[in-house]
Homo-oligomer: A and B are copies of this chain.
């Protein structure tokens, strides 16, 4: 994630960081090349009776803008849901910790460790990275048993649930308090299941492919439609239009799967650290991890 630098609007116009530009520079270059070809070949191919006018491209361009708007809504909604799930994870961790502190303060540190393991394991599951180090840090010997499983994050949740079941079986808590805490654990299930859903089922593939192709072909043909009217101004206007269409297309694709390391993805490292700080502080620990800070490119991971 790019942390928006609070700079003057004028400086921002030329800022480089956080824009999706790098990914589309090559395609803009191609578009520029096409514009120049169009200027030089115009006279030649018009003698062949080949001509392109802007009117059908206006119709097509506006239609594509409408479809791009739709795709952006859909992909942004996925990004936004992913963010809400991780927000809900912070809320739930604090809630479980708060309830355990109220009910059974002695067990609070162990539950905090399990909750942190849950968060880090979820992060690694979503990014398909190795969870071993983090699980060892929080779970010690128990980590091995978790790492042998396929559904690791769920197995950690099961451990919290088993602690709760033991409390109830031993009579330390009543059925009512059991049910109350079980509801909070259910929230963990919702977060886990929601993230898995977003990660496993993308927007129907055809949407992306369809728009990708249409935008691309549109940008390629556009210079030939602009050149009869604009002549030497074709490259400027053509690259400008291509920039706005291609970058929205690329941005939508980035937001569709928000669990990676790209500029506009969720900063799950920072979020995990933040949850850790919260839980430790609730347990009155003095030594807290550093609060996450964006790097010099304004990026959090």
Does A49 sit within 8 A of B, measured CB to CB? yes
Q: Kindly report which residue of chain B lies nearest to residue A229, judged by CB atoms.
A: B53
Contacts of A177 in B (CB 8 A): 175, 178-179
A74 near B74: Cβ-Cβ < 8 Å:
no
Contacts of A54 in B (CB 8 A): 55-56, 59
Does A204 sit within 8 A of B, measured CB to CB? yes
Total A residues in contact with B, Cβ cutoff 8 Å? 125
Query: Considering the chains assembled together, what is the distance between the CA atoms of A23 and B90 in angstroms?
Result: 36
A196 to chain B, nearest CB (A): 7
Does A109 sit within 8 A of B, measured CB to CB? no
Does A106 sit within 8 A of B, measured CB to CB? no
Copies of this protein in the complex: 5
Does A125 sit within 8 A of B, measured CB to CB? no
B50 near A281: Cβ-Cβ < 8 Å:
no
Which of A64, A217, A232, A240 has the largest count of B CB atoms less than 10 A from its CB? A240
A57 to chain B, nearest CB (A): 7
Q: Kindly report which residue of chain B lies nearest to residue A165, judged by CB atoms.
A: B102
B20 near A201: Cβ-Cβ < 8 Å:
no
User: Can you pick out 5 interface pairs between chain A and chain B where the beta carbons lie within 8 Å of each other?
Assistant: A60-B237, A64-B244, A91-B193, A99-B182, A150-B277
Residues of A within 8 A of B (CB): 1-4, 9, 12-13, 15, 18-20, 27, 48-70, 72-74, 76, 79, 83-84, 87-88, 90-91, 94-95, 98-99, 101-103, 149-151, 154-155, 157-158, 161-162, 164-165, 168, 174-180, 182, 185-186, 189-190, 192-194, 196-197, 201-202, 204-210, 212-214, 216-217, 221, 226, 229-233, 236-237, 240-241, 243-245, 247-248, 251, 254-255, 263-264, 266-267, 277-278, 281-282, 288, 291
Identify the 8 closest CB pairs spanning chains A and B, nearest first: A102-B165, A91-B193, A87-B197, A63-B65, A2-B205, A175-B176, A204-B264, A18-B205
